[in-house]
Structure 1
């Protein structure tokens, strides 16, 4: 179709220019040749240089065969300028630079050959040069804008990939670190009492088995979610379990108690269902802080305070241990908690207490439910 349009352009131009050699004004001939150049659009997008050559040929024919010797016969070159601008906008400099050079030489030579007197040559040459420069500038601006849009899209994709990698890293760290910490504590207890207290060793092994199975199940769900490109397309698979939330705090404290650390949970405010991202972040913060107590604090007790406010959810974990839980900087626990809070535009602090021990505090803003319901209505 593209080459058919090019062939049809030649036929139409021959009829327009050669059909009535003595009739028609120069302006009419120029407009006719520009309209006929529309047949070259497909060819121009496919093979720009041959299309530009045909446009130059048609414009030259319209200018040289015109019996009107006014400056209007040079209007046919506007079709060449439009084609040149499209080439500059869509092609590389390797293609655009020769096209600009050839077009300039052909137009300058034609105007010099057809002009009568220095005044007409100067006027027509300046107008042709300005028209060609304008078309090239417009094409260059369109090209830069397109390249800028591509760069922005690439940057957005890279940022999305980085954010997803960080999210997966946080989830895996919070899931695995807690379970491995519990397993390590229970394994140590079991190895010490396996000969003197077989019943205690048996309980430790059962706790290790249960924690391992739960962690394996969580990892399997995570891997399935990562490999599943289209959730609706995967048929026959078991549904994924819901993400953990504050309702699972009791199960978390029970597992921590089996590892030798008692957790005292204090609830404040009116307990209610919160958005899933806030529930998950709050649970992961408590989980990571309690895991740090088990692994680093060297104490058998910690306190967790969860306060449901009107506009904020406050979470605080305090222990009376050595005061260095998770503060060494070697791990990613505190960093992950801070990232979670930052994504929700909350406030976070973690550090040793003056009176001893360690304190982790997070404040997560809650959405305005009344405003959300009003928008839905």
Structure 2
């Protein structure tokens, strides 16, 4: 009983007490008066009292209640009395067993209990094999099995409904977290690709303009120096902010379209003014591509040129766009006068790789033969790219 919750123990104790009281009261109130000696009190107490354990040991409770009830009936019949209400105890136990068991075992055990009690009654009183007591016993036994089965189904339904409610709540929380993560990554990428790109150009152009002045002590040179230092500090702070927005294990997700290959000419012109010698080579039949692919191709070229401008300085850059039937291949190849970054380091290469792999493509960045540095991206143009 200590293993059961306290409210359940009190409910089962009340059921057991009620079964014992009904048995004794109905026997004592019989017209001829029942025989309520010590033996009757004992077996009636066992038949009803064992119901306290009906949830913990349903089959043993059913067996003990049935045997004790039959012993009580045989004792009363020996003195010519009736005490059929004692059968309420095994019927309650049968209901509990049907609730705790499966439908098949409930039918088998319930049928065996009713048949066994009926056979014992016929053996003791051969004239009552089709009497009202046995018919009522069969009906009540079937009712107990049906009620227990219905209770089991209801409990299973409530458990499933609760599990679905918990799952739905978890799904809502996961969806909300996913949306927050996507928005955070979108902000991080846009900050790096758009704001970082312009800050890098300001920094490089300020340095180039400083070298064109005759005097490094002139007010214009000092102003350009302040612009260069401020833009560099802004780039560092922007990198720290993007690092806070990004977290380990964040999924890759493409951003909303804000540019495309149709703006590639404006992009290359801006970098040419920064000192880069940029050329664009197109192979294959140029054709429109989907929005995510167009944006990703633009971002790859933009970030690659920004890295060259920041790390390699004025140099020659060749942009290759190859239109194949199933994919768009992009290469950004430059002669490395400095060190344009290590593949996988920083947020720029990470962002490019995430964008490309989110569309089902492939991305590579690293040194190439001849002292060059090359960025390569392959973006699918089929169903995979469109679906992404």
CA distance in 1, matches of 2:341, 2:20: 82
Q: 1:275 aligns with which of 290, 301, 316?
A: 290
TM-fit CA distance, 1:120: 3.9
Give the match for residue 310 of structure 1: 325
Where does residue 263 of structure 1 map in the other structure? 278
Q: 1:344 and 2:359 equivalent?
A: yes
What CA distance in whole angstroms lies between the structure 2 residues aligned with 1:196 and 1:99?
Answer: 92
Displacement after TM superposition at 1:164 (Å): 2.2
Aligned partner of 1:142 in structure 2 is 161
Evaluate the alpha carbon distance shift between residue 105 and residue 162 of structure 1 in structure 2; reply closer, same or farther with a 3 A threshold.
farther
| Contact 1:346/1:363 (8 A) holds in 2 | yes
Question: C-alpha offsets along residues 82-117 of structure 1, whole Å, 9 cap, x if unaligned?
Answer: xxxxxxxxxxxxxxx777566555555545554645
Equivalent residue, structure 1, for 2:202: 183
Q: Which has the larger radius of gyration?
A: 2
CA contact (8 A) 1:253 1:262 kept: no
Could you list the per-position Cα deviations for residues 334-368 of structure 1 after superposition, in whole angstroms to 9, with x for gaps in the alignment? 00000001111111111111332211111111135
* SS of the residue 1:302 aligns to: strand
Distance verdict in 2 for CA 1:337–1:107, change over 3 Å: farther
Does the aligned pair in 2 maintain the 1:304–1:318 contact within 8 Å?
Answer: yes
- Whether the 8 Å contact between 2:19 and 2:86 is mirrored in structure 1 is no
What per-residue deviation string (whole Å, max 9, x for no partner) do you get for residues 35-84 of structure 1?
Answer: xxxxxxxxxxxxxxxxxxxxxxxxxxxxxxxxxxxxxxxxxxxxxxxxxx
2:285–2:323 Cα contact (<8 Å) kept: yes
Residue 172 of structure 1, CA deviation? 1.4
1:193 positional shift: 2.5
Inter-CA distance 195–153: structure 2 relative to 1 (3 Å threshold): same
- 1:316-346 CA-partner distances (Å, limit 9, x unpaired): 1111105742317552000000000111111
| 1:156 aligns to 2:175 (yes or no) | yes
Local SS of the residue matching 1:332:
helix
Cα drift, residue 186 of structure 1: 0.8
Which string of whole-angstrom CA distances, capped at 9 and with x for unpartnered residues, describes residues 243-265 of structure 1?
Answer: 21001111111000111111110
Q: 1:138 deviation in Å?
A: 3.6
Aligned residues: 242
User: Structure 1 stretch 140-149 or stretch 310-319: which is displaced more?
Assistant: 140-149
Aligned counterparts of 1:273 and 1:188: Cα–Cα separation in 2: 38
Kindly state the Cα deviation for residue 134 of structure 1 after the two structures are TM-superposed: 5.3
Query: For the residues of structure 2 that align with 1:270 and 1:105, how far apart are their CA atoms?
Result: 86
Question: Is 1:108–1:125's contact at 8 Å kept on the other side of the alignment?
Answer: no
Alignment of 1:1-377 (within 5 A): 104-111=12-19, 113-114=21-22, 116=84, 119-128=87-96, 130=99, 131=148, 132=151, 135-195=154-214, 243-322=258-337, 324-327=339-342, 330-367=345-382
* Cα displacement (A) at 1:163: 2.1
CA change 1:297–1:192 in 2 (3 A) is: closer
TM-score using structure 1 length: 0.56
Give the alignment's Cα RMSD to 1 decimal.
3.7
**What do residues 131-170 of structure 1 show as CA deviations (whole Å, max 9, x unaligned)?**
3565444423322232122112212221222122112211
> Using a 3 Å threshold, how does the CA distance of structure 1 residues 134 and 261 change in structure 2: closer, same or farther?
same
Would the aligned equivalents of 1:344 and 1:364 in 2 still touch at CA under 8 Å? yes
Provide the rounded CA distance (Å) in 1 between the counterparts of 2:369 and 2:274: 27
Alpha-carbon distance between aligned partners in 2 of 1:112 and 1:143, rounded to the nearest angstrom:
37
In structure 1, runs of 5+ residues without a counterpart are 1-96, 213-240, 373-377
Partner of 2:382: helix, strand, or coil? coil
In structure 2, distance between residues paired with 1:110 and 1:322: 96
Cα pair 1:111 1:125 within 8 Å, conserved:
no
